[in-house]
Structure 1
């Protein structure tokens, strides 16, 4: 398969999100793009997600992975698998998924294992895109 047929794989909690669809549409003007919405996957979603990513990587279909970081449980596995195949990974992240505010019990990073998983994933990604200046 030639590199022109490789695609950007967009991994997101929902393929129906207007933000995801808009980003994929912009990317598709330059590169073939596929959205992999986690909510559409059959049970067990984590394993199915990793299997679909693995098969696309083995078949040399993936140019890079763009992941919305609001899927923190999957993030370290997606990043590790993608990097094992020598592909680039970019994440879009921001507020709830990368923080915890104890006073109001808000944020995904309340538990120690999620903080470790996020730290691992963010260490190995090639590019972190925040969705606002405040999130940097």
Structure 2
């Protein structure tokens, strides 16, 4: 089996597992798969992949996008997530400006939001 055929586990830090679970399950709608023997909170992702939240008292988010969800209709996904209380980031920098939360360079559209621990998450739509 090659790595290109393997499911992926995305591991993110959290300082508060119950707050993170409310966000990922309640606001993003990810199916909660319980906890593992290490006490990490698990969520099911497409293709057999998994989100693993590791509780760390001194959790520090990455300054870069930690996870991006490929979507078919970014505007519809933004509207649905906003209705559930997700707040999207907006940017206005030279060469990098969002309109209605979306950056569009002609080949990809993307929108970013933060989880309760400051991890940067993204929606992206190609084509």
TM range (shorter): 0.3 to 0.5
Name which structure has the greater RCO, CA cutoff 8 Å, separation 6+.
Answer: 2
Higher strand share: 2
TM-score (norm 2): 0.33
TM-score (norm 1): 0.32
